[in-house]
Amino acid sequence: MKQPIATKNAPGAIGPYSQAIDAGAFLFVSGQIPVNPATGEIPEGITLQTAQSIANIKAILAEAGLTIDNVVKTTVFLADMNDFAAMNAVYADNFTAPFPARSAVAVKELPKQVLVEIEVIAVK
Number of structural domains found in the chain: 1
Residue 117 CA to residue 124 CA, distance in Å, equals: 23
Q: Which domain holds residue 90?
A: 3-10+19-123
pTM score? 0.97
pLDDT in tens, 105-123: 999 999 999 999 999 999 9
pLDDT in tens, 35-62: 999 999 999 999 999 999 999 999 999 9
Which CATH number belongs to the domain containing residue 82 in this structure? 3.30.1330.40
**Which of 67, 46, 72 lies closest to 57, judged by CA?**
67
